[in-house]
Amino acid sequence: MVLKLKKAKVQDMDMALELFRKTSLSLQARNLSQWSYWSNPPMEKIQWVRDGFQRGVFFFVCDESDDFLGMFRLLPVDELYWDEKGREPNVRYVHSLVIATGHSGKGIGALILKKIIENLRNEGIESLRLDCDSSNSRLCQYYEDQGFKKVGTKVTPHSVNNLYEMDLNP
């Protein structure tokens, strides 16, 4: 499958919020508390998404037929989860990797991560980092299966997150 990564436009923000809402409801249906705030997001979370769209860090993912598959956020800095380490050069941070309804369980997430990694390697980026709600052991294992190494934890107001890192120059 050929994936196309498209920088999301500000006018598409509602589409992202709806994807977060649907994902939150899907997680709740599986008795997972991760992202429960997205079913009725507080203003701070809506502003976080708006800021990301205005800064151009959200990407939509489509297949070769332009069918919408998901989205993610790619950041050059992440002090919220990584503190001072979150300003290190030659590192990128992936957040909000979400697969669209009807496409989960098909390996799309792994393909998206591979595409991100390929693009970052071509740019000379040395590491890719992400965080994952530690209460979602299945998703934590998924990231480890994709080659990420757990390097720490971070407590935030909404959750306790595992911190993962992948060296892009193995």
Tell whether 146 is covered by a domain: no
Please tell me whether residue 163 adopts helix, strand or coil conformation. strand
Within a domain: 158: no
Q: pLDDT at residue 170 above 80?
A: no
Q: H-helix or E-strand containing 162?
A: strand 160-167
Whether 143 is in a domain gets the answer no
Domain assignment present for 135: no
| 70 in a structural domain | yes
Pair 116, 91: CB distance under 8 Å: no
pLDDT, position 136: 87
pTM comes to 0.91
* Domain carrying residue 73: 3-127
DSSP states along 94-154? EEEEEEPTTTTTSSHHHHHHHHHHHHHHHHT--EEEEEEETT-HHHHHHHHHTT-EEEEEE
DSSP 9: P
Could you tell me if residue 139 is inside a domain? no
Instruction: Give the residue carrying structure tokens 């860090």.
Output: 57
Structural domain total, the chain = 1
The larger pLDDT score, comparing residue 104 to residue 81, is at 81
Note whether residue 59 is domain-resident.
yes
List Cα–Cα distances, 156 to 33, 91, 149, in angstroms.
14, 21, 20
Residue 153 bridge partners (DSSP): 162
pLDDT at residue 32 above 90? no
Asked, for residue 170, whether it belongs to a domain, the answer is: no
pLDDT tens per residue across span 40-99: 899 999 999 999 999 999 999 999 999 999 999 999 999 989 999 999 999 999 999 999
* Paired tokens of 18: 């709806």
CATH number assigned to the domain comprising residue 28: 3.40.630.30
At 111-165, the pLDDT tens digits run 999 999 999 999 999 999 999 989 889 899 999 999 999 999 999 887 899 999 9
pLDDT of residue 34: 77
pLDDT of residue 60: 97
- pLDDT digit string (tens) for 129-144? 999 989 889 899 999 9
Specify the pLDDT at position 1.
86
